[in-house]
Structure 1
Amino acid sequence: MIRKKSNLPQLKIKFKPQIILAIISLILTVAIPINISYKIPALAQTEKTYEAKLFETALSFTLYFEGGFSNHPADKGGRTYKGILQTEYNSYRRRRGLPTLDVTQMSDAELMEIYQSYWDNSKSATMHPALAVVMFDTAVNFGINNSVTFLQQALGLPQTGIFDTKTKEALAEGNNRNTALQMINERIIYRYKRVQEDATQMAFFHGWLARDYSLWGYVEKLKDN
């Protein structure tokens, strides 16, 4: 799990033997097709709109990789359930005047509301289907501001983490599958930088890259509309 509120560091990549071994292991893993299928809580709409279907498509992928409980000692995010940090869930409950609970007690309704906020705040619904799925998954995995940073990198813009006018204008021209794939590429580059900066994160390296390459294959198969 990436710490969602951290700024993305700009580091030089120097490959180490551990990374080479991880890449070999990854190749053996991704050579086996992954069937992304995860049962998600029912959406509120009785008749699903196009946006609701797209949200469900994005959420299905994300929950496939975020579907369980995690509390790894090297995970800087801490206790996490279905992609939601304990600290994040505490804030969600407090904003509603409710007592905090263990994140594993989060209801399906709460989970869907939190994920809906990621969808809305990342502006994923305004994007090409492939880019919408990548933007949403990046927002959940890295945080909203960092997802905008990855988008800006993919669009060749200065990285501010703010969805400003320049970003909107560039997105209008680059709202397509190629930008989605470039975002995934930027994520992969960042994974290498992350483990070079902090060797303890090698514990997650294989899983991170498996997620990124699976996302690449997932969005390549999506229809344009």
Structure 2
Amino acid sequence: MASHSFDRSLKLVLVHEGGYSNHPKDPGGSTQNGVTQATYDDYRKKSGKPAQDVRKIDYTEIYQLYKRNYWDRIQGDDLPAGVDYAVFDWAVNSGPKRAIIGLQRVVGVADDGKLGPITLAAVRGMDQAAIVNRLNDDRLTFFRQLSTWPTFGKGWSNRVAGVRKEALAMIRVPVVPPVVIAPLPAPSLQPMAPNAGRPPVPPSGPLQAELQGAGTGFVSWFKRTFGGKAV
């Protein structure tokens, strides 16, 4: 599955959700990188932090908030590559429940807004490209029914077209998880033998005499053979 595609999906979402906005016709109000002030206040409260202006949100908070509030709630780790991003982007735009209902209607299961094993099985049993195309068609239809379509329709249309393109690309070339190479085990340090590392002790006694005699015999033979001359 596509647990490793969250980072890529988040980068794509932030292309559409970047910057600050506070449009008078946007019910979300003050919004930074797609995070409304109300959502940020709730996140800070649950994290045991004091409230602050959403414009001060940092990337670590953005990452954690999107992962917790959207990706995990649509079970992005359990969805196939491409489908996960398409559902994730819709969840960010319209809420996780709306995105899950949209997915359930596409795959033909009860649209209760709760993504469970029945929905996941139906997703796996259907062509992934067909899911992405139908999902984005239905998403655009949903947007056209909103009263704010005249104001935001053009931007939403461009966003849906971009999501469709990227999601289909993710199906054709899924994100490959990084190869993790396990570290080599540390060498075992065995205790040295009592005499390890010491120079050898010269032989003594009969063995020493025998070796010395062999050397003397060789020198005598050499002199007799070559007359003591160097060769």
TM normalised by structure 1 equals: 0.71
Deviates more, 1:173-182 or 1:136-145: 173-182
Matched, 1:68 2:16: no
Which is bigger in relative contact order (C-alpha 8 A, separation at least 6)?
1
Equivalent residues in 2 for 1:153-164, closer than 5 Å = 153-164=105-116
Q: Deviation digits for residues 8-62 of structure 1, max 9, x if unmatched?
A: xxxxxxxxxxxxxxxxxxxxxxxxxxxxxxxxxxxxxxxxxx733x112211211
- Work out the CA distance in 2 between the residues paired with 1:168 and 1:94: 32
Which deviations, in whole Å up to 9, do the C-alpha atoms of 1:126-179 show, x marking residues without a partner? 122110110111111111111111111211233211114432332231262221
Q: Does 1:78 align with 2:29?
A: yes
State the 1:201 CA deviation.
3.9
Matching residue within 149, 159, 172 for 1:211: 159
Is the 1:148–1:163 Cα contact (8 Å) retained in structure 2? yes
> Structure 2 residue aligned with 1:166, among 113, 118, 138?
118
SS of residue matched to 1:98 = coil
TM-aligned CA distance change 1:174 to 1:95, over 3 Å = same
Q: 2-side partners of 1:187 and 1:60: how far apart?
A: 21
**Alignment match, 2:101:** 149
The answer for the alignment partner of 2:211 in structure 1 is none
Letter in 2 for 1:159: D
For the 8 Å contact 1:153–1:159, the answer to whether it is kept is yes
Choose which of 23, 40, 65 in structure 2 pairs with 1:114: 65
Q: Which runs of 5 or more structure 2 residues have no equivalent in the other structure? A: 175-231
Q: Residue 181 in 1 paired to residue 129 in 2? A: no
By how many angstroms is 1:94 displaced? 0.8
Contact 2:132 2:168 in 1 (8 A): no
Runs of 4+ off more than 3 Å: none
Q: Residue 157 of structure 1: SS of its match in structure 2?
A: coil
Which AA in structure 1 matches 2:81?
P
Normalised TM-score (structure 2):
0.69
Cross-structure match for 2:82: 130
RMSD of Structure 2 on Structure 1 (CA): 1.9
Alpha-carbon distance between aligned partners in 2 of 1:175 and 1:68, rounded to the nearest angstrom: 35
Letter in 2 for 1:168: L
**Alpha-carbon deviation of 1:82?**
0.5
Contact kept? 2:143, 2:149, Cα under 8 Å: no
- Structure 2 residue identity aligned to 1:132: D
Gaps of 5+ in 1: 1-49
> After superposition, what is the alpha-carbon deviation per residue over 1:82-118, rounded to whole angstroms, capped at 9, x for unaligned?
1111100000011122111111101111111011112
Distance (whole Å) between structure 2 residues aligned to residue 85 and residue 138 of structure 1 = 16
- Percent identical pairs in the alignment equals 27
Q: Partner of 1:104 in structure 2?
A: 55
Give the Cα separation in 2 of the matches to 1:181 and 1:56.
Answer: 22
Matched position secondary structure for 1:74: coil
Which has the higher Rg, Structure 1 or Structure 2? Answer: 2
- Given that residues 86 and 103 in structure 1 are in contact (C-alpha distance below 8 angstroms), is that contact kept between their aligned partners in structure 2? yes
Residues 1:55 and 2:6 aligned together: yes
